[in-house]
Chains A and B, each alone.
Chain A
Protein backbone atom coordinates (compact mmCIF):
# COMPACT_ATOMS: atom_id res chain seq x y z
CA UNK A 1 0.00 0.00 0.00
CA UNK A 2 2.95 2.30 0.52
CA UNK A 3 3.47 2.16 -3.24
CA UNK A 4 0.55 4.56 -3.57
CA UNK A 5 2.48 7.42 -1.92
CA UNK A 6 3.62 10.03 -4.39
CA UNK A 7 6.39 11.64 -2.32
CA UNK A 8 9.89 10.60 -3.43
CA UNK A 9 11.60 8.01 -1.21
CA UNK A 10 13.95 9.39 1.40
CA UNK A 11 12.10 12.69 1.79
CA UNK A 12 8.96 11.51 3.53
CA UNK A 13 9.27 10.46 7.19
CA UNK A 14 6.03 8.47 7.03
CA UNK A 15 7.30 6.54 4.06
CA UNK A 16 10.56 5.89 5.90
CA UNK A 17 8.61 4.54 8.85
CA UNK A 18 6.53 2.28 6.63
CA UNK A 19 9.64 0.96 4.92
CA UNK A 20 11.32 0.30 8.27
CA UNK A 21 8.22 -1.53 9.50
CA UNK A 22 7.97 -3.64 6.36
CA UNK A 23 11.67 -4.44 6.48
CA UNK A 24 11.31 -5.63 10.08
CA UNK A 25 7.94 -7.38 10.03
CA UNK A 26 7.59 -8.18 6.32
CA UNK A 27 4.81 -10.45 5.19
CA UNK A 28 3.11 -10.62 8.57
CA UNK A 29 2.45 -6.90 8.48
CA UNK A 30 1.21 -7.03 4.88
CA UNK A 31 -1.11 -9.90 5.78
CA UNK A 32 -2.54 -7.94 8.69
CA UNK A 33 -3.09 -4.89 6.50
CA UNK A 34 -4.82 -7.09 3.93
CA UNK A 35 -7.09 -8.52 6.64
CA UNK A 36 -8.10 -5.03 7.78
CA UNK A 37 -8.59 -3.92 4.18
CA UNK A 38 -10.84 -6.93 3.61
CA UNK A 39 -12.83 -6.17 6.75
CA UNK A 40 -13.56 -2.68 5.51
CA UNK A 41 -14.31 -3.41 1.85
CA UNK A 42 -15.20 -7.03 1.20
CA UNK A 43 -18.27 -7.69 3.26
CA UNK A 44 -21.79 -6.64 2.41
CA UNK A 45 -23.32 -6.40 5.85
CA UNK A 46 -23.47 -2.62 5.46
CA UNK A 47 -25.71 -3.03 2.42
CA UNK A 48 -28.13 -5.06 4.54
CA UNK A 49 -28.14 -2.59 7.39
CA UNK A 50 -28.18 0.50 5.19
CA UNK A 51 -25.32 1.98 7.11
CA UNK A 52 -24.02 4.22 4.40
CA UNK A 53 -27.14 6.27 4.00
CA UNK A 54 -25.17 9.49 3.90
CA UNK A 55 -21.63 8.26 3.52
CA UNK A 56 -21.70 6.35 0.27
CA UNK A 57 -23.10 7.07 -3.19
CA UNK A 58 -26.17 5.02 -3.86
CA UNK A 59 -25.44 2.71 -6.80
CA UNK A 60 -27.95 2.87 -9.65
CA UNK A 61 -29.49 -0.45 -10.69
CA UNK A 62 -27.70 -1.98 -13.66
CA UNK A 63 -24.84 -0.55 -15.70
CA UNK A 64 -24.68 3.16 -16.53
CA UNK A 65 -25.76 4.11 -20.04
Chain B
Protein backbone atom coordinates (compact mmCIF):
# COMPACT_ATOMS: atom_id res chain seq x y z
CA UNK B 1 0.00 0.00 0.00
CA UNK B 2 1.40 3.38 -0.99
CA UNK B 3 2.16 5.71 1.89
CA UNK B 4 0.06 8.87 1.76
CA UNK B 5 0.19 12.33 3.24
CA UNK B 6 -2.67 11.42 5.55
CA UNK B 7 -1.14 8.09 6.63
CA UNK B 8 2.24 9.74 7.31
CA UNK B 9 0.54 12.56 9.23
CA UNK B 10 -1.33 10.05 11.36
CA UNK B 11 1.81 7.97 11.92
CA UNK B 12 3.70 11.03 13.20
CA UNK B 13 0.81 12.11 15.40
CA UNK B 14 0.48 8.63 16.87
CA UNK B 15 4.22 8.39 17.52
CA UNK B 16 4.73 5.47 15.11
CA UNK B 17 7.13 7.59 13.07
CA UNK B 18 9.16 10.63 14.11
CA UNK B 19 9.46 13.72 11.98
CA UNK B 20 13.21 13.10 11.73
CA UNK B 21 12.48 9.64 10.34
CA UNK B 22 10.00 11.10 7.86
CA UNK B 23 12.44 13.75 6.65
CA UNK B 24 15.33 11.26 6.51
CA UNK B 25 13.18 8.89 4.46
CA UNK B 26 12.27 11.72 2.06
CA UNK B 27 15.94 12.64 1.63
CA UNK B 28 16.88 9.02 1.04
CA UNK B 29 14.16 8.64 -1.62
CA UNK B 30 15.51 11.76 -3.26
CA UNK B 31 19.03 10.29 -3.25
CA UNK B 32 17.74 7.21 -5.09
CA UNK B 33 16.41 9.29 -7.97
CA UNK B 34 18.67 12.31 -8.19
CA UNK B 35 18.85 12.00 -11.97
CA UNK B 36 15.24 13.10 -12.22
CA UNK B 37 16.48 16.58 -11.31
CA UNK B 38 13.67 17.36 -8.93
CA UNK B 39 15.13 20.11 -6.74
CA UNK B 40 16.54 23.51 -7.62
CA UNK B 41 17.59 23.97 -4.01
CA UNK B 42 17.45 21.46 -1.17
CA UNK B 43 17.61 22.56 2.48
CA UNK B 44 18.41 19.16 4.00
CA UNK B 45 20.15 20.45 7.14
CA UNK B 46 17.47 23.03 7.87
CA UNK B 47 14.74 20.45 7.29
CA UNK B 48 16.37 17.98 9.66
CA UNK B 49 16.80 20.70 12.29
CA UNK B 50 13.12 21.61 11.93
CA UNK B 51 12.21 17.92 12.21
CA UNK B 52 14.22 17.56 15.43
CA UNK B 53 12.44 20.60 16.85
CA UNK B 54 9.07 19.15 15.80
CA UNK B 55 9.87 15.86 17.52
CA UNK B 56 10.82 17.72 20.71
CA UNK B 57 7.48 19.54 20.60
CA UNK B 58 5.51 16.33 20.02
CA UNK B 59 5.50 14.93 23.56
CA UNK B 60 2.45 12.80 22.86
CA UNK B 61 -0.11 15.63 23.27
CA UNK B 62 -2.11 15.15 20.08
CA UNK B 63 -4.67 17.85 20.78
CA UNK B 64 -2.21 20.72 20.53
CA UNK B 65 -0.42 19.53 17.42
CA UNK B 66 -1.07 21.35 14.13
CA UNK B 67 -2.58 19.19 11.35
CA UNK B 68 0.66 18.63 9.36
CA UNK B 69 2.98 18.42 12.36
CA UNK B 70 6.43 17.31 11.21
CA UNK B 71 5.33 16.29 7.69
CA UNK B 72 7.91 17.05 4.96
CA UNK B 73 6.69 18.92 1.86
CA UNK B 74 8.46 20.75 -0.97
CA UNK B 75 7.19 23.41 -3.35
CA UNK B 76 7.76 24.77 -6.83
CA UNK B 77 10.56 27.35 -6.75
CA UNK B 78 8.25 30.32 -7.24
CA UNK B 79 6.88 30.82 -3.74
CA UNK B 80 8.74 33.28 -1.54
CA UNK B 81 10.23 31.87 1.65
CA UNK B 82 11.83 34.30 4.03
CA UNK B 83 15.65 34.26 3.73
CA UNK B 84 15.61 31.42 1.15
CA UNK B 85 16.64 31.94 -2.43
CA UNK B 86 13.78 31.78 -4.89
CA UNK B 87 14.77 31.39 -8.55
CA UNK B 88 11.46 31.25 -10.48
CA UNK B 89 13.39 28.72 -12.58
CA UNK B 90 15.56 31.49 -13.99
CA UNK B 91 19.19 32.46 -13.57
CA UNK B 92 18.04 36.09 -13.49
CA UNK B 93 16.25 35.66 -10.17
CA UNK B 94 18.41 33.03 -8.51
CA UNK B 95 20.19 35.43 -6.20
CA UNK B 96 16.93 36.93 -4.94
CA UNK B 97 16.25 36.36 -1.25
CA UNK B 98 12.68 37.27 -0.24
CA UNK B 99 12.01 39.20 2.96
CA UNK B 100 8.70 37.46 3.67
CA UNK B 101 7.10 34.08 3.07
CA UNK B 102 4.28 33.68 0.57
CA UNK B 103 0.78 33.22 1.94
CA UNK B 104 0.38 29.66 0.68
CA UNK B 105 3.69 28.34 2.03
CA UNK B 106 3.10 30.17 5.31
CA UNK B 107 -0.26 28.45 5.70
CA UNK B 108 1.29 25.02 5.22
CA UNK B 109 4.23 25.78 7.50
CA UNK B 110 1.88 27.13 10.19
CA UNK B 111 0.04 23.84 9.83
CA UNK B 112 3.28 22.19 10.96
CA UNK B 113 4.79 21.08 7.64
CA UNK B 114 8.55 21.12 7.05
CA UNK B 115 9.73 22.50 3.73
CA UNK B 116 12.52 20.40 2.24
CA UNK B 117 13.43 22.80 -0.53
CA UNK B 118 12.44 24.41 -3.81
CA UNK B 119 11.41 22.24 -6.74
CA UNK B 120 12.37 22.42 -10.40
CA UNK B 121 10.09 24.23 -12.85
CA UNK B 122 10.02 25.67 -16.35
CA UNK B 123 11.77 29.04 -16.57
CA UNK B 124 9.30 31.63 -15.25
CA UNK B 125 6.61 28.90 -15.41
CA UNK B 126 6.49 29.14 -19.19
CA UNK B 127 6.28 25.83 -20.99
CA UNK B 128 4.23 22.63 -20.65
CA UNK B 129 7.17 20.19 -20.84
CA UNK B 130 9.00 21.08 -17.61
CA UNK B 131 12.26 21.73 -19.43
CA UNK B 132 14.71 24.09 -17.83
CA UNK B 133 17.89 25.07 -19.66
CA UNK B 134 19.48 26.63 -16.55
CA UNK B 135 18.82 24.00 -13.87
CA UNK B 136 18.47 20.97 -16.13
CA UNK B 137 15.38 19.23 -17.44
CA UNK B 138 13.16 17.53 -14.90
CA UNK B 139 12.42 13.96 -16.00
CA UNK B 140 9.41 11.70 -15.77
CA UNK B 141 9.83 9.04 -13.05
CA UNK B 142 7.85 6.51 -15.12
CA UNK B 143 10.27 6.88 -18.02
CA UNK B 144 13.12 9.40 -17.72
CA UNK B 145 13.29 9.68 -21.50
CA UNK B 146 9.91 11.40 -21.38
CA UNK B 147 9.02 14.86 -20.15
CA UNK B 148 7.67 15.39 -16.66
CA UNK B 149 5.18 17.98 -17.91
CA UNK B 150 5.30 21.56 -16.79
CA UNK B 151 5.64 24.04 -15.63
CA UNK B 152 5.27 22.53 -12.13
CA UNK B 153 7.53 19.64 -13.15
CA UNK B 154 9.46 19.15 -9.91
CA UNK B 155 6.29 19.24 -7.81
CA UNK B 156 4.65 16.41 -9.76
CA UNK B 157 7.84 14.34 -9.95
CA UNK B 158 8.61 14.75 -6.24
CA UNK B 159 5.16 13.41 -5.36
CA UNK B 160 5.15 10.65 -8.01
CA UNK B 161 8.57 9.43 -6.87
CA UNK B 162 7.37 9.44 -3.25
CA UNK B 163 9.96 11.98 -2.07
CA UNK B 164 7.16 14.06 -0.56
CA UNK B 165 3.42 13.43 -0.44
CA UNK B 166 2.36 16.99 -1.21
CA UNK B 167 3.67 20.01 -3.06
CA UNK B 168 2.49 23.41 -4.24
CA UNK B 169 2.41 24.27 -7.91
CA UNK B 170 0.88 26.95 -10.08
CA UNK B 171 -1.39 26.84 -13.12
CA UNK B 172 -1.80 29.57 -15.73
CA UNK B 173 -2.66 27.32 -18.69
CA UNK B 174 -2.33 23.82 -17.27
CA UNK B 175 1.02 24.10 -15.48
CA UNK B 176 -0.15 22.11 -12.49
CA UNK B 177 -2.59 19.66 -14.11
CA UNK B 178 -0.33 18.72 -17.06
CA UNK B 179 2.62 17.49 -14.95
CA UNK B 180 0.19 15.83 -12.53
CA UNK B 181 -1.28 13.87 -15.45
CA UNK B 182 2.10 13.05 -17.02
CA UNK B 183 3.43 11.75 -13.69
CA UNK B 184 0.33 9.90 -12.47
CA UNK B 185 -0.55 12.09 -9.48
CA UNK B 186 -3.45 14.36 -8.49
CA UNK B 187 -3.43 18.12 -9.10
CA UNK B 188 -6.04 20.76 -8.37
CA UNK B 189 -6.34 24.05 -10.19
CA UNK B 190 -8.75 25.82 -7.86
CA UNK B 191 -11.18 28.56 -8.79
CA UNK B 192 -9.22 31.65 -9.84
CA UNK B 193 -8.39 33.66 -6.71
CA UNK B 194 -9.39 30.92 -4.26
CA UNK B 195 -5.84 30.49 -2.91
CA UNK B 196 -3.88 33.64 -2.15
CA UNK B 197 -1.14 34.39 -4.69
CA UNK B 198 0.58 36.94 -2.44
CA UNK B 199 4.30 36.23 -2.39
CA UNK B 200 4.20 33.93 -5.41
CA UNK B 201 5.63 34.62 -8.85
CA UNK B 202 3.11 36.22 -11.22
CA UNK B 203 2.88 35.12 -14.85
CA UNK B 204 -0.52 36.38 -15.99
CA UNK B 205 -2.49 37.48 -12.94
CA UNK B 206 -5.93 37.16 -14.59
CA UNK B 207 -5.24 33.45 -15.16
CA UNK B 208 -2.72 32.43 -12.46
CA UNK B 209 -3.87 29.89 -9.86
CA UNK B 210 -1.96 28.30 -6.99
CA UNK B 211 -2.84 24.72 -6.12
CA UNK B 212 -1.78 21.47 -4.45
CA UNK B 213 -0.32 18.34 -6.05
CA UNK B 214 -0.59 15.09 -4.09
CA UNK B 215 -0.60 11.33 -4.52
CA UNK B 216 -4.33 10.90 -4.00
CA UNK B 217 -7.53 12.90 -4.07
CA UNK B 218 -7.85 12.60 -0.29
CA UNK B 219 -4.34 14.03 0.21
CA UNK B 220 -5.00 16.81 -2.28
CA UNK B 221 -8.24 17.73 -0.49
CA UNK B 222 -6.45 17.75 2.87
CA UNK B 223 -3.88 20.25 1.54
CA UNK B 224 -6.53 22.39 -0.14
CA UNK B 225 -8.46 22.74 3.10
CA UNK B 226 -5.35 24.16 4.75
CA UNK B 227 -4.76 26.59 1.90
CA UNK B 228 -8.14 28.32 1.81
CA UNK B 229 -9.83 30.45 4.40
CA UNK B 230 -13.18 28.69 4.26
CA UNK B 231 -13.33 25.24 2.69
CA UNK B 232 -16.77 23.71 2.63
CA UNK B 233 -16.76 20.39 4.44
CA UNK B 234 -16.84 17.18 2.44
CA UNK B 235 -19.10 14.31 3.23
CA UNK B 236 -18.19 10.74 2.41
CA UNK B 237 -18.24 10.35 -1.37
CA UNK B 238 -21.54 9.23 -2.77
CA UNK B 239 -23.25 9.21 -6.15
CA UNK B 240 -26.35 10.76 -4.59
CA UNK B 241 -26.62 14.39 -3.49
CA UNK B 242 -29.81 15.85 -2.06
CA UNK B 243 -31.69 12.69 -2.98
CA UNK B 244 -30.71 12.94 -6.67
CA UNK B 245 -28.13 10.90 -8.54
CA UNK B 246 -25.07 12.93 -9.49
CA UNK B 247 -24.63 13.66 -13.17
CA UNK B 248 -21.39 14.11 -15.14
CA UNK B 249 -21.19 15.63 -18.60
CA UNK B 250 -18.96 13.57 -20.84
CA UNK B 251 -18.28 14.80 -24.40
CA UNK B 252 -17.32 11.37 -25.79
CA UNK B 253 -17.42 12.32 -29.47
CA UNK B 254 -15.20 15.38 -29.02
CA UNK B 255 -12.70 13.34 -27.01
CA UNK B 256 -12.58 10.56 -29.61
CA UNK B 257 -12.00 13.16 -32.30
CA UNK B 258 -9.27 15.20 -30.58
CA UNK B 259 -7.48 12.86 -28.16
CA UNK B 260 -5.25 9.86 -28.89
CA UNK B 261 -6.96 6.43 -29.01
CA UNK B 262 -5.34 5.39 -25.73
CA UNK B 263 -6.42 8.54 -23.93
CA UNK B 264 -9.96 8.19 -25.35
CA UNK B 265 -10.12 4.57 -24.18
CA UNK B 266 -8.91 5.52 -20.67
CA UNK B 267 -11.57 8.25 -20.46
CA UNK B 268 -14.23 5.83 -21.66
CA UNK B 269 -13.20 3.37 -18.95
CA UNK B 270 -13.29 6.19 -16.38
CA UNK B 271 -16.82 7.13 -17.47
CA UNK B 272 -17.78 3.48 -17.04
CA UNK B 273 -16.33 3.47 -13.51
CA UNK B 274 -18.47 6.47 -12.63
CA UNK B 275 -21.52 4.76 -14.16
CA UNK B 276 -20.83 1.66 -12.09
CA UNK B 277 -20.67 3.88 -9.00
CA UNK B 278 -24.18 5.13 -9.72
CA UNK B 279 -23.30 8.44 -11.39
CA UNK B 280 -25.35 9.38 -14.44
CA UNK B 281 -23.07 9.97 -17.46
CA UNK B 282 -24.61 12.27 -20.02
CA UNK B 283 -23.05 12.93 -23.39
CA UNK B 284 -23.22 16.55 -24.40
CA UNK B 285 -21.12 18.58 -26.87
CA UNK B 286 -18.29 20.77 -25.64
CA UNK B 287 -18.40 24.55 -25.93
CA UNK B 288 -15.98 26.24 -28.33
CA UNK B 289 -12.83 25.40 -26.37
CA UNK B 290 -10.53 26.40 -29.24
CA UNK B 291 -11.88 29.92 -29.07
CA UNK B 292 -11.43 30.09 -25.30
CA UNK B 293 -7.93 28.66 -25.70
CA UNK B 294 -7.11 31.49 -28.11
CA UNK B 295 -8.68 34.12 -25.86
CA UNK B 296 -6.63 32.82 -22.93
CA UNK B 297 -3.57 33.41 -25.10
CA UNK B 298 -4.72 36.95 -25.91
CA UNK B 299 -5.00 37.62 -22.17
CA UNK B 300 -1.85 35.83 -21.10
CA UNK B 301 0.66 37.24 -23.55
CA UNK B 302 0.30 40.98 -22.76
CA UNK B 303 -0.02 40.30 -19.02
CA UNK B 304 3.21 38.30 -19.07
CA UNK B 305 4.90 41.01 -21.14
CA UNK B 306 3.82 43.61 -18.58
CA UNK B 307 5.03 41.45 -15.68
CA UNK B 308 8.43 40.94 -17.34
CA UNK B 309 8.87 44.42 -18.81
CA UNK B 310 11.42 45.66 -16.29
CA UNK B 311 13.38 42.39 -16.25
CA UNK B 312 13.49 42.29 -20.04
CA UNK B 313 14.79 45.85 -20.19
CA UNK B 314 17.65 45.01 -17.87
CA UNK B 315 18.40 41.34 -18.51
CA UNK B 316 16.93 40.49 -21.90
CA UNK B 317 19.88 38.31 -22.88
CA UNK B 318 19.64 36.23 -19.71
CA UNK B 319 16.28 34.76 -20.77
CA UNK B 320 16.30 31.49 -22.67
CA UNK B 321 15.39 32.51 -26.25
CA UNK B 322 12.18 30.49 -26.56
CA UNK B 323 10.96 31.82 -23.19
CA UNK B 324 11.84 35.38 -24.21
CA UNK B 325 9.96 34.88 -27.48
CA UNK B 326 6.81 33.71 -25.70
CA UNK B 327 6.82 36.72 -23.43
CA UNK B 328 7.72 39.30 -26.06
CA UNK B 329 4.82 38.27 -28.30
CA UNK B 330 2.72 40.09 -25.69
CA UNK B 331 4.25 43.43 -26.63
CA UNK B 332 2.62 43.09 -30.04
CA UNK B 333 -0.92 42.45 -28.79
CA UNK B 334 -2.99 45.62 -29.20
CA UNK B 335 -4.69 46.88 -26.03
CA UNK B 336 -8.20 46.71 -27.59
CA UNK B 337 -7.63 43.00 -28.34
CA UNK B 338 -6.69 42.37 -24.72
CA UNK B 339 -9.69 44.31 -23.44
CA UNK B 340 -12.08 42.47 -25.76
CA UNK B 341 -10.70 39.09 -24.69
CA UNK B 342 -11.22 39.94 -21.03
CA UNK B 343 -14.67 41.42 -21.66
CA UNK B 344 -15.84 38.22 -23.33
CA UNK B 345 -14.84 36.12 -20.35
CA UNK B 346 -17.98 36.58 -18.24
CA UNK B 347 -20.35 35.47 -20.97
CA UNK B 348 -18.32 32.35 -21.72
CA UNK B 349 -18.34 31.47 -18.02
CA UNK B 350 -22.09 31.99 -17.82
CA UNK B 351 -22.63 29.81 -20.90
CA UNK B 352 -20.38 27.11 -19.45
CA UNK B 353 -22.21 27.00 -16.13
CA UNK B 354 -25.74 27.34 -17.55
CA UNK B 355 -25.39 25.20 -20.67
CA UNK B 356 -22.40 22.84 -20.52
CA UNK B 357 -22.86 22.01 -16.85
CA UNK B 358 -26.67 22.35 -16.78
CA UNK B 359 -27.94 19.87 -14.22
CA UNK B 360 -24.50 18.30 -13.81
CA UNK B 361 -21.91 18.26 -11.03
CA UNK B 362 -18.91 18.20 -13.35
CA UNK B 363 -17.51 17.83 -16.83
CA UNK B 364 -15.24 14.86 -17.57
CA UNK B 365 -12.44 15.44 -20.14
CA UNK B 366 -8.78 14.44 -20.56
CA UNK B 367 -6.00 16.48 -18.96
CA UNK B 368 -3.51 15.85 -21.75
CA UNK B 369 -4.93 14.39 -24.95
CA UNK B 370 -1.68 13.16 -26.49
CA UNK B 371 0.96 10.63 -25.38
CA UNK B 372 3.61 12.04 -23.01
CA UNK B 373 6.26 13.36 -25.43
CA UNK B 374 9.95 12.54 -25.19
CA UNK B 375 12.54 14.95 -23.79
CA UNK B 376 14.44 14.82 -27.06
CA UNK B 377 11.57 15.72 -29.38
CA UNK B 378 10.50 18.66 -27.22
CA UNK B 379 13.83 20.31 -26.44
CA UNK B 380 13.30 23.82 -27.77
CA UNK B 381 16.95 24.72 -27.30
CA UNK B 382 17.81 22.08 -29.87
CA UNK B 383 14.64 21.86 -31.96
CA UNK B 384 13.51 25.50 -31.90
CA UNK B 385 10.22 26.97 -30.71
CA UNK B 386 7.30 24.56 -30.86
CA UNK B 387 3.98 26.41 -30.75
CA UNK B 388 2.16 23.32 -32.05
CA UNK B 389 3.48 21.21 -29.19
CA UNK B 390 2.45 23.83 -26.64
CA UNK B 391 -1.04 24.02 -28.16
CA UNK B 392 -1.35 20.23 -28.24
CA UNK B 393 -0.34 19.76 -24.60
CA UNK B 394 -2.51 22.61 -23.29
CA UNK B 395 -5.56 21.97 -25.50
CA UNK B 396 -7.71 20.53 -22.69
CA UNK B 397 -6.43 22.74 -19.86
CA UNK B 398 -5.87 26.31 -20.98
CA UNK B 399 -9.48 27.24 -21.76
CA UNK B 400 -10.34 26.48 -18.14
CA UNK B 401 -7.92 29.17 -16.92
CA UNK B 402 -9.78 31.60 -19.16
CA UNK B 403 -13.06 30.58 -17.48
CA UNK B 404 -11.46 30.56 -14.01
CA UNK B 405 -13.33 27.40 -12.95
CA UNK B 406 -11.84 24.64 -10.76
CA UNK B 407 -10.42 21.49 -12.38
CA UNK B 408 -9.05 18.37 -10.71
CA UNK B 409 -6.63 16.12 -12.60
CA UNK B 410 -6.77 12.47 -11.51
CA UNK B 411 -4.74 9.53 -12.88
CA UNK B 412 -6.92 7.14 -14.91
CA UNK B 413 -4.60 4.67 -16.59
CA UNK B 414 -1.35 4.12 -18.47
CA UNK B 415 -0.52 4.18 -22.16
CA UNK B 416 1.25 1.35 -23.98
CA UNK B 417 4.62 3.04 -23.28
CA UNK B 418 3.94 2.85 -19.55
CA UNK B 419 3.30 6.55 -19.01
CA UNK B 420 0.30 7.76 -16.99
CA UNK B 421 -2.92 9.21 -18.42
CA UNK B 422 -4.97 11.78 -16.51
CA UNK B 423 -8.59 12.85 -16.54
CA UNK B 424 -10.01 16.22 -15.51
CA UNK B 425 -13.14 16.82 -13.48
CA UNK B 426 -14.24 20.40 -14.08
CA UNK B 427 -16.79 22.13 -11.90
CA UNK B 428 -18.56 25.37 -11.09
CA UNK B 429 -16.67 28.26 -9.46
CA UNK B 430 -15.88 27.54 -5.78
CA UNK B 431 -17.19 23.95 -6.04
CA UNK B 432 -13.86 22.24 -5.41
CA UNK B 433 -15.50 20.03 -2.77
CA UNK B 434 -17.77 18.49 -5.43
CA UNK B 435 -14.73 17.63 -7.53
CA UNK B 436 -13.01 16.07 -4.53
CA UNK B 437 -16.12 13.96 -3.81
CA UNK B 438 -16.22 12.72 -7.38
CA UNK B 439 -12.46 12.11 -7.39
CA UNK B 440 -12.73 10.10 -4.16
CA UNK B 441 -15.58 8.08 -5.63
CA UNK B 442 -13.38 7.30 -8.65
CA UNK B 443 -10.33 6.38 -6.58
CA UNK B 444 -12.37 4.09 -4.34
CA UNK B 445 -13.04 2.01 -7.45
CA UNK B 446 -9.79 2.27 -9.42
CA UNK B 447 -6.15 1.33 -8.66
CA UNK B 448 -4.32 3.99 -10.69
CA UNK B 449 -3.37 6.29 -7.80
CA UNK B 450 -1.81 3.37 -5.92
CA UNK B 451 0.78 2.74 -8.64
CA UNK B 452 4.22 4.15 -8.01
CA UNK B 453 7.36 4.04 -10.16
CA UNK B 454 10.01 1.83 -8.63
CA UNK B 455 13.28 3.58 -7.78
CA UNK B 456 15.40 0.77 -9.32
CA UNK B 457 13.42 1.16 -12.52
CA UNK B 458 14.27 4.85 -12.55
CA UNK B 459 17.97 4.07 -12.22
CA UNK B 460 17.86 1.28 -14.78
CA UNK B 461 16.01 3.35 -17.37
CA UNK B 462 18.32 6.28 -16.80
CA UNK B 463 21.38 4.08 -17.18
CA UNK B 464 20.10 2.59 -20.43
CA UNK B 465 19.34 6.06 -21.66
CA UNK B 466 22.97 7.10 -21.54
Contact = CB atoms under 8 A, between A and B. Distances in A.
Contact of B341 (A2, A24, A40, A49): A40
B309 A14 contact: yes
Contacts of B339: 55
Contacts of A21: 324-325, 328-329, 331-332
A37 interface: yes
B420 to A, nearest CB: 31
A28 B331 CA distance: 14
Interface residues on A, range: 20 to 34
A37 B337 contact: yes
Nearest to B337: A40
Nearest to B302: A36
A40 B340 contact: yes
B385 A28 contact: yes
B329 A41 contact: no
Secondary structure of the A contact surface, majority rule: helix
B291 interface: yes
Interface residues on B, range: 20 to 34
Contact of A39 (B297, B329, B346, B347): B297
Contact of B347 (A4, A24, A51): A51
Interface in B319-334: 321, 324-325, 328-329, 331-334
A56 to B, nearest CB: 7
Interface centre among B298, B309, B331, B387 (most CB of A within 10 A): B331
Given A29-B332, A35-B294, A56-B343, 18 more contacts: A17-B312, A18-B328, A21-B331, A32-B332, A36-B301, A36-B329, A36-B333, A39-B295, A39-B298, A39-B337, A40-B338, A40-B340, A45-B288, A45-B291, A51-B344, A51-B348, A52-B343, A55-B339
10 contacts: A14-B309, A17-B316, A17-B331, A35-B294, A36-B297, A36-B332, A36-B333, A40-B341, A55-B340, A56-B340
A-B pairs, top 4 by smallest CB distance, nearest first, are A51-B347, A40-B337, A33-B332, A39-B294
Interface of A: 1-2, 4, 13-14, 17-18, 20-21, 24-25, 28-30, 32-33, 35-37, 39-41, 43, 45-46, 49-53, 55-56
